[in-house]
Every structure is written in structure tokens, then in C-alpha cells.
Amino acid sequence: MMGASGIAEWIKEQIRIKKGKPIPAHVNFFYCFGGISLFLILLQLLSGVFMLFFYTPEPDKALLSIAYLSNEVPMGWLFRNMHRWTSTLLLATVFSHMVIVFYLKAYQSPRKLTWLSGVFQLLMVFLLVITGLILPWDWRSYWSFAIWMDYIGTWVLGGETLQAALLDTFTLNAAYFTHILAIPILLAAFLSFHFKMIRRYGISKPL
């Protein structure tokens, strides 16, 4: 019979077999913001998939479906609030990650493309927040959409054309599929590249 210490030994043995890359000694709390961002993205995926079962992307039903989710569905309020609060937190952690990586000069060769994929990821996170805000289709959604459209209209190069095209085609349904499908797929593609590069070149050393 194997005693408790024998079991612990056995587990340690198994873990040792699948050796990962060791964490360099200089890595500290400030190197955690990328990982924290990934964790928050996974939380968003979880609460988002839960809400998919209850949300209806139609202008006269969206808000009612969210009221039903928050007030009637068991734990619905929890998942909805998790999704809302985590979106803001995610913006903060991704932004902090970027500032820290900049400060550490980790954007230099050979990590230029890691940085560039990060820029796209930041853009994707922004777009997720903007399209997500539209989905409840309450007054806040209406006005945030109106303000973005006004702003896009001020762009010197093609602003008015883009504004007109979006006002013609960007329905609630379009915002919904952009939010739950198009942007997440793009983000997943960039993230998988981001992580491949990190595995290939390792975490940067302090200069």
C-alpha cells in the first residue's frame, strides 16, 4: 500500500516527467499582466456563452431578454455583471500589460511581431467593448452608438463614407455577430500567434 507521502512522491514524479520551461529568476509581478488578461478573456468567454442562451438580438426584444436574464434566470445577474465588470477590468489589464512591455523595451527585436499582434489584440478588445455596449439596446446603447457614428464621421480620410455605410448596414443583429463571432475569431487567431512567439523567444530579459 502507498502511504500519503508515497502518493505525494508519485505525483511529483509525474509532474517532473512533463517538464515545462523554467520561469526565469527576473520575472516578477509586472510580467503577470498578459496572463491576467488571458484569464479575464476566458472568464468573458464563460459568462458570454452563458448569456447566449438567453439574449435575443432584436431591437424590441433585446432589453426584455436581458431583464429576464438578470431577474428570472438563476445566477443570470451574476453572469451578466461578471461580463460587464470584467470588460472594464480587461481594458485596464491589457493597457497595463502594454505599458509595462513598453517600459521593459520588450517590443524590440525579436519581439516586434509579438508587439504588433498585441496592438491588434488591443484593438479587438476595444471593438468588443464598443459592440457589446450596443447589445442591450437601451438608451446607453443608443447614445454610445450615436456618439461613435458622429466621431467616425469626423475622420478626414473616408470618415463620412464609412459612417454612411455603417448607418446603413450595422444593425443590432450585425453588432451581435460581430461581438460573438467575428471579433472573437480574429482575437483567438492573434492570441495564438502571440503565444507562439512568446514560447519561441521566451520572456525578455531586463536590458
> Is 118 a residue that touches ligand HEM (CB under 6 A)?
yes
By beta-carbon distance, which residue lies closest to ligand HEM?
A: 118
> Is 34 a residue that touches ligand HEM (CB under 6 A)?
yes
Q: How many Cα atoms occupy the beta-carbon half-sphere of 116 within 13 Å?
A: 8
In sign, the C-alpha dihedral spanning 165, 167, 169, 170 is: positive
- Report the residue from 114, 141, 163, 178 that binds ligand HEM according to the rule CB under 6 A: 114
CA dihedral 83, 84, 85, 87 (to 10 degrees): 80
Nearer to ligand HEM, 140 or 205 (CB): 205
- Report the residue from 54, 68, 115, 193 that binds ligand HEM according to the rule CB under 6 A: 115
Contacts of 132 (CB under 8 A, 6+ apart): 83, 87, 179
Q: How many residues bind ligand HEM (CB under 6 A)?
A: 27
User: Cα separation of 187 and 185, whole Å?
Assistant: 5
> Is 123 a residue that touches ligand HEM (CB under 6 A)?
no
> Is 135 a residue that touches ligand HEM (CB under 6 A)?
no
- Report the residue from 51, 62, 125, 183 that binds ligand HEM according to the rule CB under 6 A: 125
- Report the residue from 11, 49, 119, 164 that binds ligand HEM according to the rule CB under 6 A: 119
Closest CA to 65 of 138, 143, 131, 171: 138
The answer to whether 128 and 179 have CB atoms below 8 angstroms apart is: yes
> Is 97 a residue that touches ligand HEM (CB under 6 A)?
yes
> Is 87 a residue that touches ligand HEM (CB under 6 A)?
no
Nearer to ligand HEM, 131 or 204 (CB): 204
Burial of 37 (C-beta count, 10 Å sphere; 0-12/13-18/19+): buried
Binding site for ligand HEM (CB under 6 A): 31, 33-35, 37-38, 41, 94, 97-98, 101, 104, 106-107, 111, 114-115, 118-119, 121-122, 125, 191, 194, 198, 203-204
